[in-house]
Amino acid sequence: MRELSVAEQRYQAVMAVISDGLSVSQAAEKFGVARQTLHRWLARYEAAGLEGLVDRSHRPVSCPHQMPAIVEAAVLELRRSRPYWGPRRLVFELAKRGVHPVPSESAVYRALVRAGLIDPSVRDRRSRKWKRWERGAPMELWQLDIVGGFPLADGTSAKALTGIDDHSRMCVCAKLMARERTRAVCDGLRAALAAYGVPEQILTDNGKVFTGRFCHPPVEVLFDAICREHGIEHLLTQPRSPTTTGKIERFHRSLRAEFLSGREPFTNLKVAQQALDEWVEDYNTTRPHQAPKDDHTGSTVSLRCAGITTVELVCPTRRPQWR
């Protein structure tokens, strides 16, 4: 027996009143619907016949929040030219370029999904898998690590000591070195402390340039000694736990995508450092950082370290007043 459509079931309820002479209360009880619902069906049938009993679309006739086609085209063009940019960065760049109206991040995300430029299932898997954590204020914790892949013209590849503030996501260190050596790593640490001040804690992995606690017997390496001399608590990650330093790893992904991808070999280490310094300056000052409660509108960039002046950035203090 064929299953009745929704419109046919409603039609039977309406006919029970009109043709069979049942009261609205009786028909409503017979068909298991509320009296108000049956009254509405009767009114719709009287106005439009059987077509009035078909489900109606709840979509509004006009949607003032719908992204204009020209804005959506600008979003997609920008995303295709910068495939590593997410909705937040795209909104920021559109505002800088004078696109009007500036769409919301959620609207940009939906446009990217419609165009097949974002896989929403990947986002869902990530959100279920990891729980984000961060320190409550800047200068409480720095995450430091070493990343390679900086090509030089002589065929070698340089490495960099990198560091970010756990709360503000600000890059506090990006020092290149020809080889991963203790002295070069510690020179990078000293430069970061002189430029940005002394954090309460520093988190690194268990590499030998960072710590000698796992040597037999344990020894204090130069990096540990510098932390001790400055009153910094040196924290170490659990072995084989890269997510502990997830923010610096995320910084490395941005570095590879935006700075290293497609890059020709640098003439020498000095030229590479100059280019890296310029990229870090842009990263710290002109781009939005995807941390909680960060917003930006128009040409105003709101960083977690909002309120820092250029002078404050280079003054070595114990706790810079980053807000």
Tens digit of each residue's pLDDT (9 = 90 or more) over 132-181: 566 789 999 999 999 999 999 999 999 999 999 999 999 999 999 999 99
Give the largest Cα separation in the chain, rounded: 97
Euclidean distance between CA atoms 55 and 48, whole angstroms: 13
* CB 251 within 8 Å of CB 287: no
Confidence category of residue 288, pLDDT binned at 50, 70, 90: low
For residue 60, the model assigns a pLDDT of 60
Sign of CA dihedral 179, 181, 183, 187: positive
With a cut of 90, say whether residue 188 has pLDDT above it: yes
With a cut of 70, say whether residue 291 has pLDDT above it: no
Residue carrying the six token digits 């924290």? 235
Model confidence pLDDT, tens digit, residues 112-122: 988 888 888 76
Model confidence pLDDT, tens digit, residues 123-146: 555 544 444 566 789 999 999 999
141-314 CATH: 3.30.420.10
Compute φ and ψ for 141, nearest 5 degrees: -150, 135
* CB 223 within 8 Å of CB 182: yes
With a cut of 80, say whether residue 316 has pLDDT above it: no
Euclidean distance between CA atoms 188 and 204, whole angstroms: 14
Euclidean distance between CA atoms 111 and 115, whole angstroms: 6
What average pLDDT is seen over the chain?
81
Least confident span in 29-33, 50-54, 97-101:
50-54
Question: 217: cis peptide before it, omega within 30°?
Answer: yes
* DSSP-assigned beta bridge partners for residue 174: 162
Confidence category of residue 192, pLDDT binned at 50, 70, 90: very high
Domain positions in the chain are 6-53, 69-129, 141-314
* DSSP-assigned beta bridge partners for residue 163: 144, 173
For the beta sheet containing 157-165, the strands, ordered from the edge strand earlier in sequence to the opposite edge, are 171-177, 157-165, 141-151, 201-204, 233-236
CA distances from 110 to 74, 114, 119, 225, 256 (A): 14, 6, 11, 51, 26
Q: Which residue has the higher pLDDT, 237 or 232?
A: 232
Euclidean distance between CA atoms 317 and 303, whole angstroms: 20
CA distances from 202 to 101, 166, 199, 231, 296 (A): 43, 10, 7, 11, 29
Residue carrying the six token digits 């280079």? 314
Ordered DSSP codes for 123-157: HHHHHHH------SSTTSEEEEEEEEEEEBTTS-E
- Tallying the residues shown for the chain, one arrives at 323
For residue 294, the model assigns a pLDDT of 43
